[in-house]
Amino acid sequence: MQPATLAVLAGRGRETGEPLNRPPVFASAFRAGGEHDYARAANPTWEAFEEALGALDGGVAVAFGSGMAAAAATLDLVRPGGRVVAAASAYFEVRRLLEDRENSGRLTTTYVDPLDTAALLAAAEGADLVWLDALANPGLDVPDVDLIAAGLRRGETKLVVDATLVTPILMRPLELGADVVIHSATKFIGGHSDLLLGAAVARTHDLAEQLRRGRTSTGAVPGTMDTWLGLRGIRTLALRIERGSRTARELAEHLVRHPAVRAVRYPGLAGDPAHVPMQRLMSSFGAVLAFELDRAAHADSVCARVQVITHATSLGGVETLIERPGRWHPGAVVAPGLLRISVGCEDPGDLWRDLERALAAA
């Protein structure tokens, strides 16, 4: 079955008389003798969400309280004193987590350019884990996940791919050879900017069991309501990604022609650096784009003037969001005038008119 069908069918009850959707189960404890006992270990609502996400990604999903909780549990798989090779463009909070763990002597990290496959593989020789983002946030770079997976020593070096910006609708990293996929379900999977949720999807039951053990012992568990809403989000994931991708392309094409815009990054544009790898590895180009204005002040002014689009951090919701990622990392890798847009489900014409007005006024 195709992802759009799985997103609708997976994680449901199949018995006669059962509700079509598994209802949220609010419980900390279950009567003894059954499948569930204490709810820090498992909850039927988490399991419905995990079943659906696991089916979509082709692996075994373990839900966590946030994307970062899933990332932390996955890094716990690294033996004490182990070595991680991470993309220099990995999500900033993941880099901070790696730094903290390096400072406390638990592991060491080598940062690499994820687009230089040969250099990455050379650095990964003897490493315990390689950490990549399928589509970097906010850099929108796409590494050759399949070639990297093929070049790593299976069983020695685990490949972890953060697929938050692409979701299983665009890419299934496990099929390309990854060992664990990380999702911040806070973003596209939840899809409505009203919850925090994460997941790690493992290639094997053994890896999933290790992640589950970590979740139970650290208590990095998701809430019942959040996993229930997360599964509701999955039902429309394919539709939302499809709509967002289409509108993102339209906005990118308008922006390319705008005189105030220095550069546009959207992998769907033929000349974009991510176009070729994304076309090869993914089914579409996604709902996130970025463009650069000459100055930070100009970019901030656009954020202050949009009315249909909302100025806020985060991404992946039905509402289109704009932000200047450089405001979080002054003087860092991100260009100061860069604006990122996460495209939602509004009418594309309304979005462009809003952006055009804000650009003119700024």
Ligand X SMILES: *Cc1c(COP(=O)(O)O)cnc(C)c1O
Residues classed as catalytic: 40, 91, 162, 187
Number of residues written out for the chain: 362
CB-CB neighbours of 263 under 10 Å: 13
H-type helices in the chain, by residue range? 3-9, 44-57, 67-75, 92-103, 117-123, 145-151, 167-170, 205-218, 224-235, 237-256, 275-281, 296-305, 348-361
Task: Tell me if 3 sits within 8 A of 175, measured CB to CB.
Answer: no
x/- string (CB under 6 A) for ligand X, residues 186-205? xx--------x-x-------
CB 57 within 8 A of CB 10: no
Q: Is 187 or 249 the residue whose CB approaches ligand X more closely? A: 187
Q: Which residues contact 258 (CB under 8 A, 6 or more apart)?
A: 356, 359
Q: Contact region for ligand X (CB under 6 A) — 102-110, 122-130, 181-189, 245-253?
A: 181-189
Shortest Cβ 170–ligand X spacing (Å): 14
Counting contacts by CB under 6 A, is residue 137 touching ligand X? yes
Q: Which is nearer to ligand X, 91 or 266 (CB)?
A: 91
Give the separation between CA 255 and CA 339, rounded to whole angstroms. 12
Q: For residue 83, what is the enclosing H or E element? A: strand 82-87
If one asks whether residue 43 binds ligand X (CB under 6 A), the answer comes out as: no
Q: x/- site string to ligand X, residues 56 to 75, per CB under 6 A?
A: ----------xxx-------
Would you give the DSSP letter of residue 257? T
For residue 247, count other CB atoms closer than 10 A to its CB.
23
Q: Among all residues, whose Cβ is closest to ligand X?
A: 67
Residues 7-26 that bind ligand X (CB under 6 A): none
Q: How far is the CB of 183 from ligand X (least distance, A)?
A: 8
Q: Which of 214, 185, 209, 246 is nearest to 57 (CA)?
A: 185
Question: Which residues on adjacent β-strands are paired with residue 182?
Answer: 162, 200
Which range of residues in 4-12, 31-39, 160-168, 230-238 is near ligand X by CB under 6 A? 160-168
Letters for 256-285 (x = contact with ligand X by CB under 6 A, - = none) are ------------------------------
Q: What is the smallest separation between the CB atom of 99 and ligand X, expressed in angstroms?
A: 15
Among 164, 245, 247, 342, binds ligand X (CB under 6 A): 164
Closer of 60 and 163 to ligand X (Cβ): 163
- Which stretch in 15-23, 37-45, 157-165, 345-353 sits in contact with ligand X by CB under 6 A? 157-165
Q: Could you list the residues that contact ligand X (CB under 6 A)?
A: 66-68, 91, 93, 133, 137, 162, 164-165, 184, 186-187, 196, 198
